[in-house]
Amino acid sequence: MEEIAGNELAIEKREQAVLELADFDEVVRVYRPRILRFLLSSLTDRDVAETLTQETFLKAWAARQQFRGESSLSTWLTRIAVNLMRDHLRSRSLRFWQKTRGASLDVMDISDWIPDGRTSPESQAVARNQVAAVWEAVHKLSAQQRTVFVLRFVEEMELDEIAGTLEMNLSTVKSHLYRALGIIRERMGGAK
């Protein structure tokens, strides 16, 4: 009985996800900030992050017929973004001239975007230092570790969801996350 109810719920979720995809304007409006946030956190180039965000939605639009709702729309879009980012990182070594462009995000740019919830200049400076330390530590991680780390701590995804998105074993995800956290902790400790 419970199994039947579970199946019905799963079917309902799938139908809901497929229905959600039908209004693509709304999909772009809702999920674009999330995809851009993930790509901004994973890449150092703002221009590339924005371009890949656009490409994610273009790909999603082109492949919308293939979406069966087996994962949530958010997971599906994130998977597309991850694949595009992998392709980009793979070809980056060939497009070496991109490194000379001025669209890359700077630590100070990131620190400028901290919400103004702090009253004293001292606490603001501390917050800026903390964000800068995380930013630098994150970009010292390997591509896999960084992706897992960002999906967990920026996108706040569950571990099994990350495993599904990255098509990895749960144990591999845990391993990457453990190592990434170790490196972040070490670097942030050193930065203090």
Partner 1 sequence: MKFRRHRENPEAQEGREEIREIAEALSLYRSAMDHLAQRSPMRPFAADWRSGRSFPLRLLLAPALTAAVAAGIFLPVYSYSHHHPVITRPLRTDRQNPAALATVDDTALMNQIDSELSQDVPDALQPLADLSDQTTTNTTVSEKKNVTHE
Q: Rule CB under 8 A: which residues touch partner 1?
A: 24, 28, 32-34, 36-37, 40-41, 46, 50-51, 53-55, 57-58, 61, 110-111, 113-115, 127, 130-131, 133-135, 138, 153-154, 156, 184-185, 188-189
* 2 vs 116 by CB, closer to partner 1: 116
- Residues, the chain: 192
Asked whether 145 and 183 are in contact (CB, 8 A), the reply is: yes
* 54 vs 72 by CB, closer to partner 1: 54
* 15 vs 29 by CB, closer to partner 1: 29
Tokens, residue 178: 């453990």
* 14 vs 179 by CB, closer to partner 1: 179
Q: Least CB distance from residue 99 to partner 1, whole Å?
A: 16
C-alpha dist (Å) from residue 137 to 107, 175, 182, 183: 11, 18, 11, 7
User: DSSP for 38-89?
Assistant: HHHHH-SBHHHHHHHHHHHHHHHHHTGGG--SSS-HHHHHHHHHHHHHHHHH
Q: Least CB distance from residue 154 to partner 1, whole Å?
A: 5
Q: Least CB distance from residue 183 to partner 1, whole Å?
A: 12
Q: Least CB distance from residue 22 to partner 1, whole Å?
A: 13
CA 18 to CA 20: how far, in whole Å? Answer: 5
